Amino acid sequence: MTNRWQLYQRERFPILTYAPLIAAFSFSAVSVSAYLRGQGVLPEARGFLVAFISVFLFFLQLRIADEFKDHEDDARFRPYRPVPRGLVTLPELGTLSAAAAVIQLGLALWVKPALALLLIFMWAYLGLMRKEFFVPRWLKAHPVAYLWSHMGIMPLIALYASACEWLPAGFMPARALVWFLMASFFNGIVIEIGRKIRIPEDEEHGVETYSVLWGRRNAVLSWLGAMLLAATGIWLSAHRIGLAGPVAGWLAVLMLFALSIAWRFLHGPSKKRAKRIEHMSGLWTLFTYLALAVASIVG
């Protein structure tokens, strides 16, 4: 039993990969929110802890929702995945998601009962995603709308994480937090596109990657465009903190690395170089959130 769940998390939800990203995201959301509200000290540790655990469980629930949503396609085109091959079952995953929801609710009530209302809204949006907003055929025919509708949960998760700081204090979120939410939306797109760019030999029948839908060049340019828009949100957040210059320099360095990886892939596509795009997506997200977190502490 233990071994098969370890294998499942390694294949579908690698904790060692997700945990640092989620920790940086959660810490950044809480610390930036506190700074923008004019707090001169770091928020209570409880806010960081609840934000991290809740966000971690949100991403687990997103993965489980995908297992339900994509079950038919996985059984048809990707039988090697854990659910189609019988490693775990959908009812077991449903139980795991429900257990995560119980933990999230308990934490929300511990922080501030009003946080549970936002949690319910999050679950409702997650439910709509699982049902493809009840227009699955239309969304499948419009990949941009599909991408934007599903990435819409990212700023909501960012808002929830920040609420672990501003809601217990009895305040509304700072208006400037909107730039952090913008960055979260486009960082989600960076990761989503980055993990679905492949070379022709690695494309799978029935699997709609962005390199298939848009072509390799357009997919890479879209990835860079999302990165630039995320950088804009990060810089505007840093500007409100008062450290726009150092953060802009850091973003420029990261963008240069991304441009180099993109150029190499487009001029000499290979499996290794496609994987570098995926890895750069994670590193970009990690280091941009860390930059904002450090800026909110130093500022």
pLDDT one digit per residue (tens) for the chain, 299 residues: 668 999 999 999 999 999 999 999 999 999 999 999 887 667 788 999 999 999 999 999 999 999 999 999 999 999 999 999 999 999 999 999 999 999 999 999 999 999 999 999 999 999 999 999 999 999 989 999 999 999 999 999 999 999 999 998 887 899 999 999 999 999 999 999 999 999 999 999 888 899 999 999 999 999 999 999 999 999 999 999 989 999 999 999 999 999 999 999 999 999 999 999 999 999 999 999 999 999 988 87
Domain membership of residue 28 (yes or no) is no
Which of 125, 143, 171 is where one domain is finished? 171
Instruction: Please choose, from the candidates 219, 169, 63, the residue with its C-alpha nearest in 3D space to the C-alpha of residue 126.
Output: 63
Instruction: Specify whether the CB–CB gap between 28 and 296 falls below 8 A.
Output: yes
Report the pLDDT value the prediction gives residue 297, as an integer from 0 to 100: 85
In a shared domain, residues 108 and 196: no
Which of 136, 171, 206 is where one domain is finished? 171
pTM given for the model: 0.95
SS (H, E, C) 234-261: HHHHHHHHCCHHHHHHHHHHHHHHHHHH
3-state SS, residue 22: helix
In a shared domain, residues 218 and 70: no
Report the pLDDT value the prediction gives residue 298, as an integer from 0 to 100: 83
Q: Which domain does 288 fall in, by range? A: 175-299
Burial of 189 per CB tally in 10 Å (0-12, 13-18, 19+): buried
Report the 10 Å Cβ neighbour count for 100.
Answer: 19
In a shared domain, residues 162 and 225: no
Report the pLDDT value the prediction gives residue 1, as an integer from 0 to 100: 60
Domain membership of residue 24 (yes or no) is no
What b-and-e string marks burial along 31-63, b requiring 16 or more CB atoms within 10 Å of the CB? Answer: bbbbbbbebeebbbeebbbbbbbbbbbbbbbbb
Burial of 178 per CB tally in 10 Å (0-12, 13-18, 19+): middle
Alpha-carbon distance 131 to 134, whole Å?
A: 5
Report the pLDDT value the prediction gives residue 39, as an integer from 0 to 100: 75
3-state SS, residue 14: coil
Instruction: Please choose, from the candidates 210, 188, 187, the residue with its C-alpha nearest in 3D space to the C-alpha of residue 199.
Output: 210
Alpha-carbon distance 114 to 168, whole Å?
A: 9
Report the pLDDT value the prediction gives residue 52, as an integer from 0 to 100: 97
In a shared domain, residues 71 and 151: yes
Domain membership of residue 299 (yes or no) is yes
